[in-house]
């Protein structure tokens, strides 16, 4: 299982939100690229980046911070937040981002996802955020009546690389990963599923690993020191 630490960007800083609320943030670093360099030094291979301002505005922000991370590390990067068209996808791929995460636009204009998978094969990840089995969009401000599993299968059919599944009721709360929901989704699709939201400590990592989940994204637990990232990398190193 791969462990992917998260850097969430707001106003150029590394922060974490609670339950996705833009006004409920904690600042962890004024220089996100230094955080990324530390992750790389201890053995991290892949980094999850979210442009929080972009997610709420629907257009790219924090471009300078993203550039600094890419230019100062050799990490594989995945980026989401405010990416709603093919032009923006191409811009970020040309900038050096490895994988693009599409979320809200999947619901609002599925054709964009289809075209993105066709034009940028192997580069597109579906970011599916759920609450009680229903998809949430627009920075988690809107809960739809769309079923998480139904949307995941639809995304799989057009050639996505992976699915990042976030239980938004647990994100940033350190209350434990929703292993059952993540496992249920993984069992119903063929593409890899990466768990996100609620990681608190090494037990959450072990539970996901025991259930053969492909990967996990963790943020606040690292910054609050309830999860030792080095230990998480170690216990997952044999996969």
Sign of the alpha-carbon torsion through 111, 171, 55, 38: negative
Q: Residue 229: how many CA atoms within 13 Å on its side-chain side?
A: 25
Q: Distance (Å, rounded) from C-alpha 122 to C-alpha 119?
A: 10
Helices 86-95, 110-119: inter-axial angle, 10-degree rounding: 40
Pairing label, strands 193-196, 215-218? parallel
Spacing of C-alpha 120 from chain mean position: 19
Catalytic residues, by residue number, are 8, 129
Q: Are 199 and 178 in contact (CB under 8 A)?
A: no
């Amino acid at each position: 299982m791969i462990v992917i630490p998260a850097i969430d960007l707001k106003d150029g800083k590394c922060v974490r939100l609670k339950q996705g609320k833009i006004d409920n943030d904690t600042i962890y670093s004024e220089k996100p690229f230094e955080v990324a360099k530390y992750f790389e030094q201890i053995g991290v291979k892949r980094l999850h980046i979210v442009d929080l301002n972009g997610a709420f505005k629907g257009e790219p922000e924090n471009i300078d911070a993203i550039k600094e991370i890419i230019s100062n590390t050799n990490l594989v990067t995945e980026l989401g937040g405010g990416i709603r068209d093919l032009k923006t996808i191409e811009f970020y791929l040309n900038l050096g981002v490895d994988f693009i995460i599409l979320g809200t636009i999947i619901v609002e204009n599925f054709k964009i996802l289809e075209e993105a998978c066709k034009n940028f094969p192997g580069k597109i990840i579906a970011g599916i955020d759920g609450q009680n089995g229903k998809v949430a969009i627009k920075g988690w401000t809107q809960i739809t009546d769309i079923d998480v599993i139904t949307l995941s299968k639809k995304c799989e059919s057009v050639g996505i690389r992976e699915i990042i599944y976030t239980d938004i009721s647990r994100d940033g709360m350190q209350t434990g990963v929703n292993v059952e929901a993540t496992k249920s989704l993984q069992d119903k699709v063929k593409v890899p599923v990466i768990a996100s939201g609620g990681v608190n400590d090494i037990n959450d990592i072990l539970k996901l690993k025991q259930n053969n989940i492909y990967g996990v994204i963790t943020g606040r637990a690292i910054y609050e020191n309830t999860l030792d990232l080095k230990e998480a990398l170690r216990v997952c190193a044999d996969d």
